[in-house]
Structure 1
């Protein structure tokens, strides 16, 4: 497709492209607020993933007038063929669930955390619409989305699609999506909808999505499986962190996407300099944007702000990991990854762990919107190694005493 002023305007303004996704979501609603798994005696159990006994969540708007954080915890069903293709391509694993477990094998836990800026509309849109787009993502959408981003010119003038480029070479009917391509398509589809809405196009959101795929045959749920595949798709400065049972140390699954970090600085170098440091010493791209990857922020796309997620994958032996923590920047701007893990490790359940992290941030005087999600794995409660940040946390509380804590009371 040759881009001209006429068809660029058509790409940006056509409404059928937006409404095309909604019937797909409605017609194939296979996501649920529960997971299913079989018992030894052949019964099928449904367990709510929104139960505080299973996954812990704590959230506060801090001192802000309203809450811009949002989150989704649900189960999604993805095509078996694509899951098999991704495991073979990325890990060399041959995974065959068999006919008996075919339905359960496509059931994955989806946890999304969205941190809005400039308003709540984008983060709330992602809360409601990103997970079904993971299910309905199709290779045939890749060329349209690539051309849409190219229409912004500037940074995207020579955009070829990144990990989606190979989807433009063959007939869509012959293509399977691994988790990186599926996540990228879903993020771009969601971003397209955001950028067509007059209400949403002036604000934005960062996002971290974690998908847990148990690999046992017969099927076991994510908290009891011996091995599972973890995929994290990420834009911005929300965080996803694994806690090791052996050492108690944090293993980050995300990197912050600020213009002055190494990876983003290298990516943005081709369009020249746009980094401005404000009077507080904080870096802003084009003098306004903290995160150079995110959804929305339409006016800054020509300058390199992209909705393409950074996708990381890992095969977990579950007993090696106690939990997965996901936090918004209201938490990560106050605490290190190791402090987050140490605060959660002694809790009796996931909700208590999330609460302890949030309460500590409030004691330090944190004022931003703050959200914590704790997903227990089979190593829960078995963390060994010392609490390395205990003395540091005591010192920080002593320094934060007085005016900051009194202001919150």
Structure 2
């Protein structure tokens, strides 16, 4: 598959994907090499302060991550965290121009039928997103490739290509092209996975063999395009948050009042939206011997890979949602409250990404409460890393039997939530019930 062509309003990006994040030493005087107070009077010194370059997955104070196979023979879950650079529109003295701007991204991938698809996504998804050049011509070319090579469901999608582009293209008020970029790059990458899986299946002589994977990703960038120092977890910062969803992994945010809010809808056969999307193939919906709803024997109606189901609508088309997060005072000042999660006005505490090995056993509020109570017991000595590990340990203790992965991402209001454990009794009951079952064995 050829790379899509550049469009005039975008610049051609160079490959800048990084596993590192640059943390400014906020209280450092470059003249005396002593710590200083960060106030408005020394903001220039702050901007010019030396930085610590730290691998994202080795920054436990800001990003926690944990994955465990549980009772499965292998762990097919994967996750990734990177800083990429994407084109953003800058209004410079009344003239719009596109410049490269840093964007943090984190993802959870839940593989099935093997780990080849989740491995591929872990290594290649963010590279594909950064290198894709969104355009009408490129989108049409990608959809035509699916129509010609796969057919079925994609013939209907190709007929809607103009409507899809109109829905996803950036308008005059947008400062990014992420919606179109994500849709186009996801399909491009899915096609690469399908070619890989098709080749592997032919080599093995088993055409029914092939892996797939879910993908839940978040993207965060500072709305102040000129500011490449402050990140999403800093105070006095407003960030744009995108959630891109394929499958049934989950993204959850903790608001400043400690309430958990789900940021995505899972792609299951029980979903009315998915049932409508796949109505032409309604004969593929069934219930297995365990009482679980399936589509073509798949638990998810959208996924990367899954070659056999691709012509019937098992697609990697992402659902994309967007919010404003960050400093509540700045959000109020710029009249952005309606774009915040549940219109609560910002000062969010943290994000959590989990695979269904977590979400099938614990509710959103349980997960959020577990992070908060883990921190509350030790306060500043507890990092997102310890919180992510505690979530996985809890699910294991209550009988989790599927691969379980958890990412905890610190936001600007980390640690400043009410000390109110809403699900403490529920978690205690689940733990007691699990112990009781073990004793009866």
TM-score (normalizing by structure 2): 0.76
Report the CA distance between 1:267 and its aligned residue. Answer: 1.3
5+ residue gaps in structure 1?
1-16, 22-26, 85-94, 170-174
* Aligned counterpart for 2:402 among listed residues 368, 375, 380: 368
Q: Per-residue CA shift, 1:58-105, capped at 9, x if unaligned? A: 110111111101111110000123xx6xxxxxxxxxx66999xx97x7
In structure 2, distance between residues paired with 1:97 and 1:241 = 38
CA distance in 1, matches of 2:431, 2:79: 29
User: Measured at CA, do residues 132 and 406 of structure 1 come closer, stay the same or move farther in structure 2, by a change above 3 Å?
Assistant: farther
Cα RMSD for the two superposed structures = 2.8
8 Å Cα contact 2:351/2:411 also seen in 1:
yes
1:22-53, Cα deviation, whole Å (9 max, x unpaired): xxxxx932011222365542124134322223
CA separation of 1:108 and 1:405: change in aligned 2, threshold 3 A: farther
Q: What corresponds to 1:227 in structure 2? A: 238
| 2:205 match | none
- Asked whether the 8 Å contact 1:142–1:168 carries over to 2, the reply is no
Cα distance between partner residues in 2 of 1:176 and 1:137: 17
- Aligned partner of residue 407 in structure 2, secondary structure: strand
Correspondence list, 1:379-390, <5 A: 379-384=413-418, 386-390=420-424
In the alignment, structure 2 segments of 5+ residues that lack a partner are: 5-12, 27-42, 202-208, 328-345, 376-381
Paired residues, what number? 363
- Cα offset for 1:368? 0.8
Matches within 5 A, 1:3-22: 17=1
2:247 maps to 236
Alpha-carbon distance in 1 for matches of 2:176, 2:421: 41
Any idea what the Cα deviations from partners look like across 1:294-340, whole Å, max 9, x if unmatched? 11011112211111000000011345211000000100111110101
Deviations 1:139-180 (CA, angstroms, capped at 9, x unpaired): 2421221112223222222212377434999xxxxx996211
Secondary structure at the aligned position of 1:211 is classed as strand
Q: Is the 8 A contact 1:57 1:355 kept in 2?
A: yes
Q: Greater CA radius of gyration, 1 or 2? A: 2
Cα distance, 1:245 vs. partner? 1.4
* Superposition map of 1:9-408 within 5 A: 17=1, 28-36=14-22, 40=43, 41=45, 42-45=48-51, 46-51=53-58, 52-81=60-89, 106-138=101-133, 139=135, 140-151=137-148, 152-159=150-157, 160-161=160-161, 164-166=164-166, 178-197=177-196, 198-199=199-200, 202-216=210-224, 217-218=226-227, 219-225=229-235, 226-246=237-257, 248-286=258-296, 288-318=297-327, 320-346=347-373, 347=375, 348-384=382-418, 386-404=420-438
Q: CA deviation at 1:384?
A: 1.6
| Residues 113 and 209, structure 1, Cα contact 8 Å, conserved in 2 | yes
Change in Cα spacing, 1:97 to 1:258, as seen in structure 2 (3 Å) is farther
Q: TM-score, normalised by structure 1?
A: 0.82
**Distance between the aligned counterparts of 1:381 and 1:234, measured in 2?**
28
